[in-house]
Amino acid sequence: MSEIISFELNGVSQNQNLDPNAKLLYTIRNECDSKEVRFGCGAGNCGACTVLIDGLPEQSCTVPNWSVANKKVTTAAGLKEDAIGKVVLQAFMQEQAAQCGYCINGILMSVTALLKTHPKPSQDQINNSLNRHLCRCGTHLRIIRAINHAIQTLSKS
Amino acid sequence: MSLATKHALPTSLQANPLLGSWIQFGENNTLRVMSGKVEIGQGIQASLKKIATLQLGLDPGQLDFIAGDTQICPDEWYTAGSQSIEVGGHSLAFACQHFRHFFETAAAQALSCKVSDLVLAGGSFSFHDKSISYFDLEKSVDYKQFKLDEAWTGDSFSLKGETASVEGFAREDLQEKIGGTGFIQDLVLPNMLHARILRGPHAHAITDDWQLEKLKALSGVEQVFVSGQFVALLGVNESAIVNAYEKAQTWITWRIKNPLPPEQEIENLLLSLPAVTSEPIIEGAAKEGSISHKARYSRPYIAHASISPSCALAMPTDDQSITVWSHTQGPHKLRDQLALALKMSSENIRVIHVSGPGCYGHNGADDVAFDAAFLAHQLRRPVRVQWMRSDEMAAGPVGAASLVELDASLDDSGAIVRWDASVWSHTHIARPGWGQGINLLGAWSTAQPVPQPEPVDMFLPAGGGLRNIKPYYDLPSLHVKHHFISQSPVRVSALRSLGAYANTFAIESFMDELAQLSGQDPIEFRLKHQNDQRAREVIEKAAKMANWNTYRQELAAAQDGRGLGIGFGRYKNKSAYCAVVIEVEVAEAVRVNKVWMAVDAGEIVHFDALLNQVEGGIIQALSWSLKEAVHWNESGSTSVSWDDYPILNFDEIPAVEIELIDRPGEPGLGSGELAAGPIGAALANAVTHALQIRPRHLPFTSDRLSKMIMDAD
C-alpha cells in the first residue's frame, strides 16, 4: 500500500514511506511536520492549502503524493529563502495584511508565483491568481495593498 | 458631550474585582497582564497590549500578556458583542492605573519626592538621577487584594494613558502566522489520536445504519468509539482517518427525527412557524399623518463559513483532570459547560485558548471542544478532533433568519409621527453557558444524552432578534412587537451583530422609502430626525466623501445602471456610529464600485486595528448581502461546501474609502459589528436608485433581482 516517495520540500530532500494516493496536504503537515500548510475545505475550493509544485501554485488537499515524486514543493515557510517570496512576506507584514491569517499562507504562494512570472501584473492577472483563494474576514483590501507594496519594492530592486 | 456622564462598572470588573486577577509579576522583570478577551482573528491583543503597556509605562518587551487560560486569566464571559475594548479594554486600563498608582506611591516614598515629580519610562520611576522600578518594589507593595469595583468612580478616562502618541504595536501574532504557524490546528500532543466524528447534514441527523463492523475494518481506523449517536473514528494517521470518514459517509443513510419545515421565502417560512408574541414596547404617543407606508424586509440564515472548520485538542492530565485547547469565544463558559456535560468538577478542567480561523460568532468551536474532551476523557488518551467542512456548515450553528415589518406615518412637513415595528425571528444566541442546560452538540447525542436547551433570546437594550430595532432617530412615538419563533429548520445562534443586521437594514431602507414618498433627499430626511451631533457628523462626513448631491444627480442622469445609496447606524444604539455611501452598478448582477464610510468609535486605541475591523466588516457584510443564504431540504442543510455557499471573491471587491473620527477622552467603542446593518441598507438604497426597484429581501442575488424586474414589467 505504501511506498517510498522522494521529493524536495523547501530545499530539503524527503524520502517518505507514504500512501501514494493520500493527499500531499496531510503528508506535509504530519509526516514532514510543516504545519504552515493549512486545511480549509479538502476539496480544492478555498486555496488555504496552496503550495508551489515546481513553481506552480497547487491546492495540496487535492494533490496525491505520487504526483510530486521527484518534484520541488515550496510552502510558505520556504519563502524566506526565496528572493521574491521574501519581499512578498515582508509586504504582508508591513501592511498587516491579515485578520485571522488562516488564508494568508496559501495566498502568499499564489502571489509569489505570479510575481515570479509577471513582475508588473495587471489587475486582471492579480484577480486571476487570487480567485482560487477565499478570505472570510474580508482582508481583501489589505491583501491587495500588500501585493502592490511588494510589486513596488520589487520594481525598485 | 458625554465627558461628564458616569459610566457603569464594567461587567469584567464586577466578576473579577481583585487587582491581582489582572496583573502580577512575571518572570525576568516582566509584568504579566491577564485578560479574558481572546484573539479570534480580530487582532484584539495588539490593542489590549497597547493599553496595558502605555498605562503601566513599560517598554513593550516588559509586558507578558496572556489571555483565555482558565487557570490563569480572569473570566470575562465571551469575546463577543464588540465588548473587548468597551468592557475588556476599560477594565484592563482601570486595573493598570491602580497598579501603577500603588507603585508610584511607593516609588515616591523610596525616592523622597512627590508622585507628581516622578517620570515613568521603561517600568522605572525616576526623580532627578535616582530611579526605582516596579521590579525593585515587587516585595514591598501589597496590591493583589485591592478591590477595583469599590474604586470605580464612573469617570471617563483615556484608554491610552499618558504616552498616547507612541506608535507601533503591530500584531505580534501575525509575525508567527504570516508565513508560519500559530493556530490550534498546528498543535500536536504526545501519543495523540486523530479523530473525526461521523455526523450527517443537520445538527439532529441520526442513523440506524452505522455498520460498525465495516467502520472498524476501514484502513487506518484503530478505534471506533460509539456512545449513542456519537460515533468517532480514531487513529494515528490523519490522512487515513479522513479517507475512512469519507468512505463511511458513502454508506450511512441519515435521517431527521422531526421533519424540517420546507425551504421557502423567509417571509412565508417565518410567518408559518408557531410564534410567541411578547408584550409590545410602546414609547410616546402615535399620530396619524398624511402619508402612511408599510413594508416587510427579511434576511436569510447565514453561515459563519470560517476558512477552516473548527478544531480542538484534549488530554487527560491525571485520573480526574483534563486540559482542553480550544478556539472558543468563552473559555470559562466552555469549561463550566464541559464540567456539566462530563459530570466533572470545573476545577478539574482547564481550557486554554489558542487562535483559530476567523470567528464571527458562535461557530463549532465549543462543540468540537466537547468532542475532543469527551473522547480524551473516555479513552484516557490525547485526542485531536478536526471537523470537516460539512460538519461546520451543516451541524454547527448559523445566524438566524429575520422578518421585519415597518409601518410609519409622516405629517405634512414630512416629519415622522408614528413608527411601528414587528420582528419575527428565532433566538440570536444559543452559546454554551447562555440560558439553561448544555449547549454542546455532542452532548445531545451520546448514550446519556442531554436535551438541546429551549432557545432563549437576549433582551433589550442589547437585544438579540430585537438588537437595533429602535431607530436611532428622534421619533415622537415607537411601537415594537416581537414574535419569537423557537423552531428553526437549521440550528441557530450568534452571528456577528445578531439582529442588528436585519433591523438596521430594514430601518435604513424604510427611511429611504419614506424620504422618497415625501419627496425629500434621503440624507436631509435623516438629518431632520437626528439631534445627536456625533451621528450627524458621520452622516455628513460620508455624504461629503461621496460628494453626495452632485454625484447622485450625475448618476441618475447617466441612466447606465449605476446608483448611490446611504445607510446609517449606531450599533446597539449605544456603541459606535457608522454612516456609509455605496455606489453600485447593476448589469447581470449587482457590482459594488465604491464604498465611502465614516466611523466614530470614540477614542481610537489602535488606528490600524480599528481600520482592519472596519474594512473586514464592510467586505463581509457585502458578501452576506449580495450572495449568502443557507439552503436546506428534508434531509438537512444543502449548503455544505464552498460550491453551494459562495462568498465574495477577490474580483468583486470594491474600492473603499474610510474616515475614522477620533474622539480623545470619549470611551473607546467596539468596532467589529458596526458595519453590517448600514452596509445592507446602503446597498439596497443604491440598487433602488439604480433600478427604481426596491429589494427588501436579502441577499440581492441576480436571480432575485431579475425576478423583481420581470414582475415589475
Whether B505 and B605 share a structural domain = yes
Most B CBs within 10 A among A87, A131, A140, hence the mutation to make, goes to A140
Nearest-angstrom CA–CA distance, B660 and B181: 32
Residues from chain B contacting residue A136 (CB–CB below 8 Å) = 305-307, 357-358, 360, 620, 647
Closest Cα in chain B to A51? B179
Nearest to A138 among B308, B356, B618 (CB): B618
Stretch (H or E) spanning B482: strand B477-484
CA angle B25, B31, B32 (to 5 degrees): 80
For residue A85 the three cell numbers come to 517570496
Most A CBs within 10 A among B172, B176, B178, hence the mutation to make, goes to B178
Residues from chain A contacting residue B306 (CB–CB below 8 Å) = 100, 102, 136
pLDDT exceeds 90 at position B118: yes
Nearest to A26 among B239, B308, B641 (CB): B239
DSSP code of residue B606: -
**A133: contact with B, CB 8 A cutoff:** yes
DSSP 3-state of B192: coil
Closest Cα in chain A to B239? A26
**Tell me: the pLDDT tens digits for B329-381?**
999 999 999 999 999 999 999 999 999 999 999 999 999 999 999 999 999 99
Whole-number percent of chain B with pLDDT over 90: 93
Q: Residue B457 domain-assigned?
A: no
CATH 3.90.1150.10 describes domain A3-75 = no
DSSP code of residue B174: H
The residue out of B151, B177, B203 marking a domain boundary is: B177
pLDDT of the residue at B82? 85
Backbone torsion region of residue B82, taken as left when φ is above 0, otherwise alpha when ψ lies between -120 and 50, otherwise beta: left
Distance of residue B380 Cα from the nearest chain A Cα, in angstroms = 23
**Tell me: the pLDDT tens digits for B312-321?**
999 999 889 9
Q: Where are the alpha helices (DSSP H) in B82-154?
A: 90-111, 148-151
For residue B27 the three cell numbers come to 518572570
pLDDT of the residue at B260? 96
pLDDT of the residue at A80? 96
Whether B686 and B699 share a structural domain = yes
Judged by CB atoms closer than 8 Å, whether chains meet at A96 and B651 is answered as no
- B494, with CB counted inside 10 A (0-12, 13-18, 19+), is buried
**A39: contact with B, CB 8 A cutoff:** yes
Q: Where are the alpha helices (DSSP H) in B559-653?
A: 607-627
**B676: contact with A, CB 8 A cutoff:** no
Global pTM reads: 0.97
**B154: contact with A, CB 8 A cutoff:** no
Distance of residue B613 Cα from the nearest chain A Cα, in angstroms = 8
**Tell me: the pLDDT tens digits for B479-538?**
999 999 999 999 999 999 999 999 999 999 999 999 999 999 999 999 999 999 999 999
**Tell me: the pLDDT tens digits for B198-218?**
999 999 999 998 999 999 999
DSSP code of residue B668: P
The residue out of B132, B150, B177 marking a domain boundary is: B177
Judged by CB atoms closer than 8 Å, whether chains meet at B642 and A45 is answered as yes
Whether B390 and B404 share a structural domain = no
Q: Residue B435 domain-assigned?
A: no
Whether B558 and B593 share a structural domain = yes
Phi, psi of B360 (to 5 degrees): -125, 25
CA distances from B143 to A96, B105, B443, B578, B665 (A): 37, 12, 42, 41, 27
Which residue reads 515587587 in cell numbers? Answer: B138
Residues from chain B contacting residue A46 (CB–CB below 8 Å) = 307, 642
Stretch (H or E) spanning B637: strand B636-637
The residue out of B108, B142, B177 marking a domain boundary is: B177
ipTM: 0.97
**A72: contact with B, CB 8 A cutoff:** no
Judged by CB atoms closer than 8 Å, whether chains meet at A30 and B237 is answered as yes
Nearest-angstrom CA–CA distance, B44 and B55: 17
Nearest to B238 among A30, A40, A136 (CB): A30
Judged by CB atoms closer than 8 Å, whether chains meet at B185 and A38 is answered as yes
pLDDT of the residue at B712? 82
DSSP code of residue B187: -
Distance of residue B220 Cα from the nearest chain A Cα, in angstroms = 11
pLDDT of the residue at B5? 72
Whether B360 and B501 share a structural domain = no
Tell me how many residue pairs between chain A and chain B have CB atoms under 8 A apart: 165
Q: Residue B524 domain-assigned?
A: yes
pLDDT confidence band for B156 (50 / 70 / 90): confident
Residues from chain B contacting residue A103 (CB–CB below 8 Å) = 307
Answer whether B635's CB lies under 8 Å from B255's CB: yes
Residues from chain A contacting residue B620 (CB–CB below 8 Å) = 136-138
Residues from chain A contacting residue B643 (CB–CB below 8 Å) = 43, 45
Q: What is the CATH number of the domain that holds B233?
A: 3.30.365.10
Q: Residue B410 domain-assigned?
A: yes
Phi, psi of B237 (to 5 degrees): -100, 110
Cis bond upstream, residue B699 (ω within 30):
yes
Q: How many angstroms separate the most distant Cα atoms in chain A?
A: 51
For residue B186 the three cell numbers come to 498546528
Whether B112 and B159 share a structural domain = yes
Whether B467 and B364 share a structural domain = no
pLDDT of the residue at B163? 57
DSSP 3-state of B311: strand
Distance of residue B42 Cα from the nearest chain A Cα, in angstroms = 6
Closest Cα in chain A to B656? A141
Nearest to B178 among A93, A130, A141 (CB): A93
Judged by CB atoms closer than 8 Å, whether chains meet at A36 and B181 is answered as yes
Stretch (H or E) spanning B312: strand B311-316
Judged by CB atoms closer than 8 Å, whether chains meet at A99 and B612 is answered as yes
Nearest to A131 among B185, B647, B651 (CB): B651
Judged by CB atoms closer than 8 Å, whether chains meet at A100 and B170 is answered as no
**Tell me: the pLDDT tens digits for A52-109?**
999 999 999 999 999 999 999 999 999 999 999 999 999 999 999 999 999 999 999 9
pLDDT confidence band for B1 (50 / 70 / 90): very low
Domain limits, CATH 1.10.150.120, in chain A? 78-156
pLDDT of the residue at B253? 96
**Tell me: the pLDDT tens digits for B241-273?**
999 999 999 999 999 988 999 999 999 999 999
pLDDT exceeds 90 at position B571: yes
Scan residues 638-657 of B and list those with Cβ closer than 8 Å to A. 641-643, 647-651, 653, 656
Judged by CB atoms closer than 8 Å, whether chains meet at B616 and A30 is answered as no
pLDDT of the residue at B159? 86
**B593: contact with A, CB 8 A cutoff:** no
Scan residues 367-406 of B and list those with Cβ closer than 8 Å to A. 386, 388-389
User: Domain tally for chain B?
Assistant: 3
pLDDT of the residue at B713? 74
pLDDT exceeds 60 at position B166: no
Nearest-angstrom CA–CA distance, B18 and B152: 12
Scan residues 75-134 of B and list those with Cβ closer than 8 Å to A. none
3-state per-residue secondary structure call for B6-18: CCCCCHHHHHCCE
Work out the mean pLDDT of chain B and round it to a whole number: 95
Judged by CB atoms closer than 8 Å, whether chains meet at A96 and B307 is answered as no
Whether B35 and B97 share a structural domain = yes
Q: Residue B106 domain-assigned?
A: yes
pLDDT exceeds 90 at position B164: no
Closest Cα in chain B to A45? B642
**A120: contact with B, CB 8 A cutoff:** no
Residues from chain A contacting residue B360 (CB–CB below 8 Å) = 136
Q: Residue B291 domain-assigned?
A: no
Scan residues 610-639 of B and list those with Cβ closer than 8 Å to A. 612-613, 615-620, 623
pLDDT confidence band for B2 (50 / 70 / 90): very low
Whether B249 and B359 share a structural domain = yes
pLDDT of the residue at B541? 98
Whether B78 and B135 share a structural domain = yes
Whether B573 and B672 share a structural domain = yes
Task: Taking each helix axis as running N to C, give the angle between helix A104-117 and helix A123-130, from 0 to 180 degrees, rounded to the nearest 10.
Answer: 140
Closest Cα in chain B to A48? B307
Mean pLDDT of B173-180: 96
Whole-number percent of chain B with pLDDT over 70: 99
A78-156: what fold?
DNA polymerase; domain 1 (1.10.150)
Closest Cα in chain B to A44? B642
Residues from chain B contacting residue A78 (CB–CB below 8 Å) = none
Helices and strands: H and E segment counts in chain B: 18, 29
**A104: contact with B, CB 8 A cutoff:** yes
pLDDT of the residue at B3? 44
Nearest-angstrom CA–CA distance, B197 and B396: 13
By residue range, what is the domain housing residue B165?
Answer: 2-177
Nearest-angstrom CA–CA distance, B245 and B252: 11
Whether B70 and B204 share a structural domain = no
